[in-house]
Structure 1
Amino acid sequence: MWIGWIEFDVLLGDVHSLKGKRAVIRPILADLRRTTEASVAEVGDQELHRRAEIGVGVVASGADRVTDVLDRAERLVAARPDITLLSARRRIRQSDDD
């Protein structure tokens, strides 16, 4: 079994409140869930208005499948015109790794 995850650090556009932030983040999370069929959540910077950390996690039988899903997620986030992708950190591990 292979486990992979990617964390995106994003800068939001013209957002002045947490309510405005949710309005921007919610559709991004929904798009990621729909297109990757992976687990997706806002995983950090919840108290900041213009920054967000988004995590995507996937489990599959092969490393190629995990890589494909993480690549798709990164392309989707990078292509969003309403945010700026500051960084993407990814990890892929096999279940029997120590």
Structure 2
Amino acid sequence: MVVGVLHLELILHQCQSLKDKRSVMRKVQSRVRQGFEVSVAEVGSQDLWQHGEIGVVTIGVDRNLINQVLDRVLNFVDSLGLAEVVNHQIEIINL
């Protein structure tokens, strides 16, 4: 069993409040869930209105496939234009 974890750090330039941030973060998470078979959650920076962190997790048996899925999620989030991806980390865990 292989678990893939993607951690994204985002800058939300257009947000002026935590309410704006929640709206953008929900949109990003919803679109990722709709487009990919992954679990998504906001995992940090919840009190900062122009900074967000999202964790994406998927599981499978093929390490290469897991890595491809997480790469596609990263590119997808970046292409949405809702937030700027300023840092990311992918970790693949063999269990």
Structure of greater Rg: 1
**Per the alignment, in what secondary structure is the counterpart of residue 30 of structure 2?**
helix
TM-score of the superposition, structure 1-length normalised? Answer: 0.92
Counterpart for residue 69 of structure 2: 69
Where 1:71 maps in the other structure, the secondary structure is helix
1:43 maps to 43
More moved, 65-74 vs 49-58: 65-74
Give the partner amino acid of 2:26: R
Distance 2:29 2:37 in 1: 11
Matched residue SS, 2:54: strand
For residues 19-55 of structure 1, what are the alpha-carbon distances to aligned partners after superposition, in whole Å with 9 as ceiling and x for unaligned?
1101111110011111121010010000000000001
**Number of aligned positions between the proteins:** 95
Decide which moves more: 76-85 or 38-47: 76-85
Q: Show structure 2 runs of 5+ residues with no match.
A: none
Cα deviation code 1:51-77 (max 9, x no counterpart): 000010011011122112101111111
Are residues 1:52 and 2:68 paired?
A: no
Q: How far apart are the structure 1 equivalents of 2:14 and 2:20?
A: 9
TM-score, structure 2 as length reference:
0.94
Report the identity percentage: 32
